[in-house]
Structure 1
Amino acid sequence: MRIIILGAGRVGESVAETLVSEANDITVVDTEPERLRNLEERLELRGVAGNGIQPSVLRGAGAEDCDLFIACTALDETNLVACKIAHDVFSIPTTIARLRSPEFPQGDKLLDKDGFSVDKVLCPEASVTNYVQLLIEYPGALQVVRFSQGKAHLVALRVAPGSRLADHSIADFRAENPDVPLRIVAIYRQDVELPVEGDTRVVAGDEIYVLVAQEKVRQVLHAIGNPDRPVRRVIIVGGGKVGLRLARGLAGTCEVKIIESNRKRAEYLAGELPRDMLVLEGDGADEDLLQQENVGEMDLFIALTSDDEDNIMSAMLAKRMGARRVMALINRRAYADMMQGSTIDIAISPSHAVIGELLMHVRRGAVAAVHSLRSGTAEALEGIAHGDSKTSRLVGRHVGDIKLPEGARIGAIVRGQEGDARVLMPSDDLVIETDDHVIIFLPHKRMVREVEKLFQVRATFF
């Protein structure tokens, strides 16, 4: 696929890294030649220096033969105008814009083909907020992603010592807990993937991925022994766009304190948030301030400033002082990978939170949802089985007869219309039906092209 990315900042760089790894033809446009040179040295792509809202620059970047245009500069107005030009001047079929302003929600008339011609809105701040809110809703999880309008959840968690799963084989756990409806799709021990077989023995500390119906998530967390104590007291460090969004989302459900270092921003936050929400001017890594605000009694401490180092230091300090769970927003991928699962319970990467929304437009076949997992190395994909037994590789076939790449696993099948949809745990003798939503876990992204073919309907099937 030929893709043009406008903007080589943090979001644009992360998008480029992900899409280049999948053998796409990538061109990045930016006004800073130095940024482009750095990208060209690290990644197999082409850089074009210039203003992306100028047709001549886009033409030089190959817009006349482009399949997907992604505008992710720091300015909403630049991204909107660029998408309009990409569509109207060059007839690029799909345009995506990073928009921070809530004034332009997905589906707004201003974004349709008669407006700014934006097919998909990306808002990293909103994606990060949704990501954190799911972790607050399910405090025993490391990651939660949703499929089929929320009907099915993929939950990553660390097996707790003394749980019903620790020191048991998968077969023994299933035999002793027949009423727990889950499908284990991956097990990692110290970053080494283990086979998911009946005789595989799980130990405390293993990281596992399970697919489960939305209404059964808490039952599964309880069965595996992970703590499910609700989050009631939260400290947020950083009152930027993400911090403000999160605080608003937690209003009325949690006792929230916000620490913001900038006086004017703190005053603004105090005027925007409910009166019972305490806004403090100060440094999130100030030990005296954290002690004064009883950080050791907090259910969650989350650092959301724009500085990775500040977030890491304040989260580590809060953990040492007794905060039950700490999270840190970390933009640099190397930092996020290094800190995940250390003193910091969860390292949040903004790029990982939005990549799945982009990948839907790159995937072939009837792909309904994509989520990037394990720092982008693994993926979970939801596709729709169309056609019949003559035109589809899925419809009319038993799950046990479907050929998948080694290590890839069908985790769940969602059957039925939205109102009465059911989540089915796959067994070898379950037959795939037309319009089933099939959720597949892929331990390696190199398997994507082979799995995509399963969801492509052909005129004839051999």
Structure 2
Amino acid sequence: MKVVILGAGRRGCALAEYLIGENADVVMIDNDMRKIEKVKDKIDCIAIFGNGNDMTVLTDAGVEDADFFVALTDRDEVNLISCAIVGSEFGIRNTVSCVKNIAYTSKGGLKNNLFGIGFIVNPEEEAASNICNAIERGLYSSIITFEGSDLALYNIEVDDLSALKGKTLMEIRRDADESFIIASILRNGKAMVPSGQTAIRANDMVSIVVGEGDANKIFRKLGFSRPRPKRIVFQGLNQISDYILSSLSPDTRKNIVLIDKDKTVCEEFSRKYNNNIVLNANLMNDDIIEEENLADYDLFVALEDSDELNTIIAHFAKKKGIRHSIALCKREDGSALKALDIDLVISATESTVVSLYKLFQTQSNISSVHTIFGGEIEVDEIMITENSAVRGKRLKDIDVRQKAIVAGVRKSDESSFIPNGSYLLEAGDTLLVLISSNRKKEIKNSFTA
């Protein structure tokens, strides 16, 4: 597979590295020579200096024989026009455009296949969806759900009071009344796929796969429970705020206080969401927390256009008494903010890259892919076919120890469960597999060959 990527920023480079790891041929284009030189130094691909709407540059990049063209610059119009040119002039059907403006992609906006664009991905919409997910399911460091299944993956930090501390995975599975599995661990910045003898330590970040209906009950027993926030504050009213509000259930939405320093914006949101309290204020400069009794609220969500401001006010809100906080991070990957006292950093960049991973994985029998722990662990949904080498084998007979864990199975009738080692793999099964990124080729080949 050959992929041409326009835009050598954080998103483009992350996608290029992923595709190269999947044996794709990648060509990158950017009109910033510093980015091109950085790509040449760090990524094993062809890097070309130039503009994505320049026919000569596109020809030099070999667009005419590309399987995909992906436009990921910071300018929506450049991405849209470049995809249109590639679609019309080179006949490439698989074009992907990154579009940041939610107005383009919301109801009534641009549609896939318009102007030769095969697929549109919106960083802000992806991030907004993740914020909705956190509000509806609870403030865990991240939650991954799987289509057609009630299984979900939660990343949770172990503290000194957790019932898991000091126990091995074998002891945890033996003593558990309910079905769940610890599928990966982040310890001192390094991710691992554990074995049955691995003991859980304080400050470990563990990935727990569990049925969503059982999650709260299990997490309460383990000392992890974070109930869904009921009373919420948003600061920063914009397209992302609007998308989140319109996506939440009415019962959740009615308990959200909306804050913005722009009076006109407040009036607009007040008309649209007339059941909500809308305050024309600035959390940092006004005594709004005391005046409106916001200190005992459950959650503060920082949605301003500035990553730096979101970091500051999310931290400030917790210092003032609001129990939890979320900061939206539009331009960076958010990793630098996770050391602060902020419960959840939602990165538009990371959300977009995950969405792009999924798109490319649909070209195989690996139907979906996520990454966690900075990309050190990959989470795949792999379908077992009649020709799969592992069909008819029991899980315990497949040697993937400390390289991967099969954490869930979805049957063809869409029932799903967490298997034990005696489970016999059948054609039509879709496996939820967590894989160490440095072993992903080996593991994927063992399941799909």
TM > 0.5 fold call: yes
Offset of 1:325 from its aligned partner?
A: 0.9
- In structure 1, the residue matched to 2:426 is 433
Offset of 1:234 from its aligned partner?
A: 1.2
Offset of 1:194 from its aligned partner?
A: 5.8
- In structure 2, the residue matched to 1:174 is 173
Offset of 1:192 from its aligned partner?
A: 3.9
Q: 1:176 to 1:428 in 2, by over 3 A?
A: closer
Offset of 1:436 from its aligned partner?
A: 0.7
Offset of 1:24 from its aligned partner?
A: 4.6
Q: Percent identity?
A: 23
Inter-partner Cα distance in structure 2 for 1:23 and 1:435? 26
Q: 1:384 to 1:70 in 2, by over 3 A?
A: same
Offset of 1:430 from its aligned partner?
A: 0.9
1:137-161: CA deviation from partner (whole Å, max 9, x where unpaired): 2225221111133432111112354
Residue pairs, 1:50-449, within 5 angstroms: 50-92=50-92, 94-99=94-99, 100-101=101-102, 104=105, 111-112=112-113, 115-178=114-177, 180-193=178-191, 196-250=194-248, 251-254=250-253, 255-271=255-271, 273-286=272-285, 288-331=287-330, 333=332, 336-340=334-338, 342-363=340-361, 365-387=364-386, 391-404=387-400, 406-417=402-413, 421-443=414-436, 445-449=437-441
Instruction: Please tell me the residue identity of whatever aligns with 2:303.
Output: L
Offset of 1:185 from its aligned partner?
A: 0.5
Inter-partner Cα distance in structure 1 for 2:267 and 2:46? 44
- Within the candidate set 421, 436, 443, 1:451 is matched to 443
Instruction: Please tell me the residue identity of whatever aligns with 1:425.
Output: I
SS of alignment partner, residue 295 of structure 2? helix
Q: 1:431 to 1:253 in 2, by over 3 A?
A: same
Matched residues, number:
445
Gaps of 5+ in 2: none
Instruction: Please tell me the residue identity of whatever aligns with 2:183.
Output: V
1:310-368: CA deviation from partner (whole Å, max 9, x where unpaired): 1111111112112211121234556x223325411122211211222211344463111
Offset of 1:103 from its aligned partner?
A: 5.8
Inter-partner Cα distance in structure 2 for 1:377 and 1:163? 25
Contact 1:381/1:441, CA 8 A, preserved across alignment:
yes
SS of alignment partner, residue 276 of structure 1? coil
Offset of 1:41 from its aligned partner?
A: 5.5
Gaps of 5+ in 1: 458-462
1:58-110: CA deviation from partner (whole Å, max 9, x where unpaired): 2122202322211234555543443343334334352222234466579x995
Instruction: Please tell me the residue identity of whatever aligns with 2:431.
Output: V
Contact 1:83/1:117, CA 8 A, preserved across alignment:
yes
Inter-partner Cα distance in structure 2 for 1:279 and 1:135? 22
Instruction: Please tell me the residue identity of whatever aligns with 1:326.
Output: S
Q: 1:435 to 1:117 in 2, by over 3 A?
A: farther
Which deviates further from its counterpart, 400-409 or 351-360? 400-409
Contact 2:365/2:448, CA 8 A, preserved across alignment:
yes
Offset of 1:382 from its aligned partner?
A: 0.7
TM-score of the two chains, using structure 2 as the length reference:
0.87
SS of alignment partner, residue 453 of structure 1? helix
1:276-297: CA deviation from partner (whole Å, max 9, x where unpaired): 2233334343363344343421
TM-score of the two chains, using structure 1 as the length reference:
0.85
Inter-partner Cα distance in structure 1 for 2:394 and 2:263? 62
- In structure 2, the residue matched to 1:460 is none
Residue 26 in 1 paired to residue 26 in 2? yes
Inter-partner Cα distance in structure 2 for 1:351 and 1:424? 32
Instruction: Please tell me the residue identity of whatever aligns with 1:375.
Output: G
Q: 1:399 to 1:75 in 2, by over 3 A?
A: same
Q: 1:341 to 1:222 in 2, by over 3 A?
A: farther
Offset of 1:182 from its aligned partner?
A: 0.8
Instruction: Please tell me the residue identity of whatever aligns with 1:135.
Output: A
Contact 2:84/2:116, CA 8 A, preserved across alignment:
yes
Q: 1:104 to 1:230 in 2, by over 3 A?
A: closer
Offset of 1:410 from its aligned partner?
A: 1.0
Contact 1:296/1:323, CA 8 A, preserved across alignment:
yes
Contact 2:135/2:229, CA 8 A, preserved across alignment:
yes
Q: 1:54 to 1:44 in 2, by over 3 A?
A: same
Instruction: Please tell me the residue identity of whatever aligns with 1:27.
Output: V
Instruction: Please tell me the residue identity of whatever aligns with 1:407.
Output: K
Contact 2:149/2:416, CA 8 A, preserved across alignment:
no
Contact 1:150/1:214, CA 8 A, preserved across alignment:
no
CA RMSD of aligned residues (A): 3.1
Which deviates further from its counterpart, 28-37 or 219-228? 28-37
Offset of 1:175 from its aligned partner?
A: 3.0
Contact 2:105/2:122, CA 8 A, preserved across alignment:
no
